[in-house]
């Protein structure tokens, strides 16, 4: 049940800073946000001074069923799960079962990274601060998109083949694979699976009674979203699931009701409603202290002077207040979780479409109201920004397909099947097959069965891969490297457009012909 302020008023800024307006103004903003960004459903929660003052769902949880989205509708919170992973590690550290500076090899003896020095020295803290050297999303194709065949043990083993993009402990490069390894540390130390530990040691005492540590554990629940992604400019329902191998990086299913309870617990110094403190002050400071910084633009909307990653959360300052924040994204759904501890303010936005502009519109508008900032019309700002970006993405894609179509008109210029048809292998990703089927060519990936599509000739040594699942929006070039006889010995991939999600880690593939 939604709780309200006295006289059903919320402190929001629409026109004048700090003006009190009726709750329906926020309702209207959310409805307009859904319409503007083609988001079927959204749920929003606000907690202030220990009280939930707003908790609502809007739109539908599925375009297929048309059932309404409400505060109890389960959503995959994706990378907002990382805060739970780090809280679990903090609990184990408080119990003396591990130390943040312990070497990973102490708990996973077979764990190796590309560089032997890093293998010997990488710590638990390195895993959860995005500073181990792996690049943005590097290795994500081992679990993304969903439906892959690799196990956690496979991923732990294959990390040794990922050549780091940056030196050890020098840059913040957001990476999911290292969180999967951290989840395996939790498993080996506690004897519980990551999902079991999260449910038993965190969710249950905190009071998150309707949340689950993984999608599979929530299958029996009817009130959960379908994911939605734009296809040909219109949102359509797509499968909403998650690889069990990557739960520690993004597997939790939750809802606004429980996520506001989680926010209240964190704002209350990691203390449950019955007074049990789950994490010591010493380790809270570890979690919420800047571990690896990022550069900040000189001009930014919140006068931010520092930004970076703690452990499981992004940290920054907004108008002089420390902000704890994270976002999460799966195919067809994105979420945002924001805390400003000294204001005792928490804002949670869950959606069933992959529009970050939608959650940012709502979060920033609510945040501005509490910071005393006059209405900045974030809806228009993000709408204009997205239109410009999408025009650029569409141009990239149209130009690529137009060049391919023109090239295909001259059959004599196109690569011959004997030059490139065959099986290629990447050490960490596995086998990729290029096959001829009648007059067309197809690509399929052994360890990622959903990643399959048609090859459209683009040049004498390259094709566009048009993936069968159009919700991926991740078409890519495949470029073959020929030997002196004109036969391909290797291949590499790169996206045709900047719209491609970083978890489609094509750039790090090094395919060698078998």
Q: Which CATH number belongs to the domain containing residue 22 in this structure?
A: 3.40.710.10
Does a structural domain hold residue 438? yes
Q: Answer whether 476's CB lies under 8 Å from 465's CB.
A: yes
Distance between CA atoms of residues 355 and 185, nearest Å: 33
What pLDDT, on the 0 to 100 scale, is given for residue 18?
A: 38
Does 202 lie in the same domain as 133?
yes
* CATH for 450: 2.40.128.50
Does 311 lie in the same domain as 214?
yes
Q: What are φ and ψ of residue 294, in 5° steps?
A: -125, 155
Distance between CA atoms of residues 404 and 254, nearest Å: 44
What pLDDT, on the 0 to 100 scale, is given for residue 23?
A: 83
Does 429 lie in the same domain as 339?
no
Does 321 lie in the same domain as 176?
yes
Does a structural domain hold residue 382? no
pLDDT averages per 10-residue partition of the chain, 514 residues: 35 37 83 98 97 96 97 97 98 98 98 97 98 97 94 98 95 97 98 98 98 95 96 90 92 98 98 97 98 94 97 98 97 97 97 97 96 95 96 97 94 93 98 96 97 97 97 97 97 97 97 97
What pLDDT, on the 0 to 100 scale, is given for residue 69?
A: 98
Q: Tell me the residue range of the domain where 505 lies.
A: 416-513
What pLDDT, on the 0 to 100 scale, is given for residue 427?
A: 98
Does 349 lie in the same domain as 473?
no
Q: Which of 376, 405, 429 is the last residue of a domain?
A: 376
- The SS3 assignment for 23 reads coil
Does 125 lie in the same domain as 11?
yes
What pLDDT, on the 0 to 100 scale, is given for residue 22?
A: 58
Distance between CA atoms of residues 133 and 127, nearest Å: 10
Measured at the CA of 123, the angle between CA 117 and CA 127, to 5 degrees, comes to: 105
Does 480 lie in the same domain as 348?
no
Does 84 lie in the same domain as 218?
yes
What pLDDT, on the 0 to 100 scale, is given for residue 451?
A: 97
- The SS3 assignment for 347 reads strand
CB-count burial class (<10 Å; 0-12, 13-18, 19+) for 140 = buried
Q: CB count, 10 Å around CB of 199?
A: 20
Does a structural domain hold residue 397? no
Does a structural domain hold residue 49? yes
What pLDDT, on the 0 to 100 scale, is given for residue 411?
A: 86
Q: Answer whether 466's CB lies under 8 Å from 456's CB.
A: yes
Does a structural domain hold residue 187? yes
Q: Answer whether 493's CB lies under 8 Å from 506's CB.
A: yes
Does a structural domain hold residue 308? yes
Q: Which of 345, 376, 407 is the last residue of a domain?
A: 376
Does 356 lie in the same domain as 474?
no
What pLDDT, on the 0 to 100 scale, is given for residue 169?
A: 96
What is the DSSP-derived secondary structure letter of residue 229? E
Number of domains, the chain: 2
Q: Answer whether 30's CB lies under 8 Å from 194's CB.
A: no
For residue 184, which of 154, 152, 224, 228 has the smallest C-alpha distance?
152
Q: Which of 313, 344, 376 is the last residue of a domain?
A: 376
Our measurement of the distance from residue 112's CA atom to the centroid of its chain's CA atoms, rounded to an integer in Å, reads 25
Does a structural domain hold residue 399? no
Q: Is the peptide bond before 264 cis (omega within 30 degrees of 0)?
A: no
Distance between CA atoms of residues 509 and 141, nearest Å: 9
Q: Which two tokens stand for residue 303?
A: 């006068």
Does 145 lie in the same domain as 65?
yes
Does 365 lie in the same domain as 269?
yes
Does 420 lie in the same domain as 369?
no
Does a structural domain hold residue 91? yes
Q: How many Å is the Cα radius of gyration of the chain?
A: 24
Quickly tell me which residue has 């239109």 as its tokens.
387
Residues found in the chain: 514
Q: Which two tokens stand for residue 335?
A: 């979420």
């Amino acid at each position: 049940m939604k709780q309200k302020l006295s006289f059903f008023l919320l402190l929001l800024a629409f026109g004048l800073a700090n003006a009190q307006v009726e709750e329906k103004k926020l309702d209207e903003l959310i409805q307009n946000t859904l319409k503007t960004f083609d988001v079927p459903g959204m749920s929003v929660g606000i907690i202030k001074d220990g009280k939930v003052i707003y908790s609502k769902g809007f739109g539908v949880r599925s375009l297929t069923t048309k059932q309404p989205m409400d505060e109890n509708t389960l959503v995959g919170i994706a990378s907002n799960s990382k805060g739970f992973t780090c809280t679990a590690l903090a609990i184990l550290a408080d119990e003396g079962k591990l130390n943040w500076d312990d070497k990973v090899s102490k708990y996973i003896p077979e764990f190796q990274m590309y560089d032997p020095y890093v293998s010997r020295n990488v710590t638990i803290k390195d895993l959860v601060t995005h500073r181990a050297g792996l690049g943005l999303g590097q290795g994500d194709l081992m679990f993304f998109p969903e439906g892959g065949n690799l196990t956690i043990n496979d991923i732990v083993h294959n990390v040794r083949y990922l050549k780091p993009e940056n030196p050890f402990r020098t840059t913040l490069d957001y990476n999911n694979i290292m969180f999967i390894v951290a989840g395996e540390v939790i498993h080996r130390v506690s004897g519980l699976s990551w999902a079991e530990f999260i449910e038993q040691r965190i969710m249950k005492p905190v009071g998150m009674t309707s949340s689950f540590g993984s999608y599979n554990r929530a299958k029996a629940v009817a009130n959960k979203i379908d994911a939605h992604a734009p296809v040909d400019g219109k949102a359509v329902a797509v499968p909403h699931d998650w690889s069990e191998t990557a739960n520690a990086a993004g597997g939790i299913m939750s809802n606004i009701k429980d996520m506001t309870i989680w926010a209240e617990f964190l704002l209350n110094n990691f203390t449950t409603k019955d007074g049990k403190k789950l994490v010591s002050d010493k380790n809270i400071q570890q979690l919420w202290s800047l571990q690896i910084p990022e550069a900040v633009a000189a001009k930014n909307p919140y006068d931010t002077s520092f930004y970076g990653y703690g452990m499981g959360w992004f940290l920054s300052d907004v108008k002089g207040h420390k902000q704890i924040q994270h976002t999460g994204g799966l195919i067809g759904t994105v979420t945002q979780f924001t805390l400003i501890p000294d204001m005792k303010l928490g804002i949670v936005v869950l959606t069933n479409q992959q529009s970050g502009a939608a959650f940012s519109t709502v979060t920033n508008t609510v945040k501005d109201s509490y910071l005393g900032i006059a209405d900045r019309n974030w809806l228009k700002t993000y709408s204009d920004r997205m239109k410009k970006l999408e025009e650029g993405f569409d141009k990239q894609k149209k130009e690529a397909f137009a060049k391919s179509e023109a090239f295909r008109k001259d059959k004599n210029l196109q690569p011959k099947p004997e030059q490139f048809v065959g099986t290629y292998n990447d050490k960490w990703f596995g086998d990729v097959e290029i096959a001829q089927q009648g007059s067309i060519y197809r690509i399929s990936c052994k360890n990622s069965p959903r990643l399959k599509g048609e090859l459209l000739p683009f040049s004498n040594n390259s094709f566009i891969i048009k993936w069968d699942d159009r919700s991926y929006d991740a078409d890519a070039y495949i470029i073959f490297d020929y030997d002196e006889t004109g036969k391909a010995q290797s291949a590499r991939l790169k996206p045709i457009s900047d719209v491609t999600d970083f978890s489609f880690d094509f750039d790090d593939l090094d395919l060698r012909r078998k």
